[in-house]
Structure 1
């Protein structure tokens, strides 16, 4: 009998609340009963504007946000309220790629040291760690001599490739990708998104892919969940949500994406304003 959980991640009725100063102040709820799941080898895109709660959900999965109610389960195990020691033990299986490649890498360390450090800390022999680093650099399409250089010697896109390699060091099953291409120009974004897809096809890793851009999640996601004011307002297959959205908020997000034709862009702006005005009535 196969008892392997069908989902690598399950979020069920999640509430995240932050204390507010003042004796009578009620806690601020950043998430209101959010539920989603991610299957092995799948990408679920989590999309919404700034303040929608999408990054808070990612932080909760990583153990960095206070869970007030609900559960987070990884491979069937409840991980909502782990101790620091238990969370460290889980770090090999759940990793993160942050938004800004300029600040997420230690500027004083070479790329080789950045990538070998988590392997050495986990008990890997140095020779094996260095061999693993050579393979990782090849996997993210960086030259072997990159290991001897500092992060400042690379472009933004190359630094993000280093960050992706670092996330892959210990062969995780799930990576939380928090706006991983928003700091990059459009052509570099496209190449990095292709890399994410290629890595997933090769390794079977699952992604929670957080972004504000529906056109980005369309490129990489199997399913999409749209967040607004701490709630998921629409979810489903990526082609359905990004191609024919049902919720007015999702339609506004689609119209917010820029297009090269100035006339079409003007029309989209007017339609978005109309939808926003209708929602406010």
Structure 2
């Protein structure tokens, strides 16, 4: 078996107290996590569980207190240097794209910053628009002219611009309706199949993570409490917290959703007893 592309070992992250007299607060407690070449690992947990902090550490947006983050067997490079290897798709497609820039400028900017010629950059962004199924006229328009799903497609195109080997997807479909979520997830699956890019897919929704992932890691209060293949974690979880996440996932069928809601309430009640 080949070495993982991303390897996190014993990751500890502390946040300073809100006031100078307050002690630091530990967000992550010795997290171990790995993502293989061309693999999608779903990281799932409720708000405040620490999942987004892991993504921010990988992206170089948040410092870690101790532990190790390695990429392709080497220490993770500095933030400025990792842009060609690691990219991100963030949660809110309404704020992740600069409203003052055209889509053409948004997609061209990272390539020009990486010293691509304008001719090569324009050829690359035309290719990217085709990949995410957006028309060529998109380039002259502004983010406000597109729906949430279209903006997220554009954000995916931007993340792919420099041909990264890993994309951190931080709640990339949580702001979208269910049908649009499905289309964006299908696009990410297709992109991975065609390019071999690895994904660290962060979400609070176990059903969403199940659809796209090869492996799932469940995080609670800064600790990984369950990890394994999709079928094992999503269909036959061993941890009560994972079961609660499973029963809390929304379903489009109102009758099945009512049954799941009742199961969630019963599980919550028995867990507290």
Give the TM-score taking structure 1 as reference length. 0.93
**Which of 258, 264, 272 is the aligned partner of 2:264?**
272
Structure 2 partner of 1:257: 249
What count of residue pairs does the alignment treat as equivalent? 273
Deviation of 1:170 after TM superposition, in Å, equals 0.3
- Residues 243 and 170 of structure 1: is their aligned pair in 2 closer, same or farther, counting only changes over 3 Å? same
Structure 2 partner of 1:76: 73
Aligned partners of 1:253 and 1:94: how far apart in 2?
Answer: 29
Secondary structure in structure 2 of the residue aligned to 1:164? helix
Give structure 2 stretches of 5+ with no counterpart.
none
Cα-to-partner distance string for 1:213-260 (whole Å, 9 max, x where unaligned): 111111110000011111111110011111111111111111111234
Aligned partners of 1:105 and 1:261: how far apart in 2?
Answer: 34
Bigger Cα displacement from structure 2, 20-29 vs 160-169: 20-29
Cα-to-partner distance string for 1:39-67 (whole Å, 9 max, x where unaligned): 00000000011111111111111112221
Aligned partners of 2:84 and 2:103: how far apart in 1?
Answer: 19
Cα-to-partner distance string for 1:128-171 (whole Å, 9 max, x where unaligned): 00000100000000011111111111111010011000000000
- Residues 21 and 109 of structure 1: is their aligned pair in 2 closer, same or farther, counting only changes over 3 Å? closer
| 2:8 equivalent to 1:11 | yes
| 2:112 equivalent to 1:120 | yes
Secondary structure in structure 2 of the residue aligned to 1:147? helix
CA contact (8 A) 1:137 1:143 kept: yes
Structure 2 partner of 1:63: 60
Secondary structure in structure 1 of the residue aligned to 2:262? helix
| 2:112 equivalent to 1:90 | no
Deviation of 1:22 after TM superposition, in Å, equals 4.7
Deviation of 1:69 after TM superposition, in Å, equals 1.5
Structure 2 partner of 1:196: 188
Give structure 1 stretches of 5+ with no counterpart.
none
Aligned partners of 1:173 and 1:179: how far apart in 2?
Answer: 19
Deviation of 1:261 after TM superposition, in Å, equals 4.4
The two structures, once aligned, show a CA RMSD in angstroms of 1.5
- Residue correspondence of structure 1 range 171-182 to structure 2 within 5 A: 171-182=163-174
Deviation of 1:21 after TM superposition, in Å, equals 4.1
Give the TM-score taking structure 2 as reference length. 0.96
Secondary structure in structure 1 of the residue aligned to 2:238? coil
Aligned partners of 1:203 and 1:262: how far apart in 2?
Answer: 38
Aligned partners of 2:256 and 2:127: how far apart in 1?
Answer: 45
- Residues 154 and 261 of structure 1: is their aligned pair in 2 closer, same or farther, counting only changes over 3 Å? closer
Aligned partners of 1:116 and 1:229: how far apart in 2?
Answer: 39
Aligned partners of 2:67 and 2:177: how far apart in 1?
Answer: 38
- Residue correspondence of structure 1 range 1-281 to structure 2 within 5 A: 6-22=3-19, 25-79=22-76, 86-281=78-273
- Residues 237 and 5 of structure 1: is their aligned pair in 2 closer, same or farther, counting only changes over 3 Å? closer
Aligned partners of 2:255 and 2:114: how far apart in 1?
Answer: 56
- Residues 187 and 21 of structure 1: is their aligned pair in 2 closer, same or farther, counting only changes over 3 Å? closer
- Residues 63 and 275 of structure 1: is their aligned pair in 2 closer, same or farther, counting only changes over 3 Å? same
Bigger Cα displacement from structure 2, 259-268 vs 26-35: 259-268
Aligned partners of 2:127 and 2:120: how far apart in 1?
Answer: 11
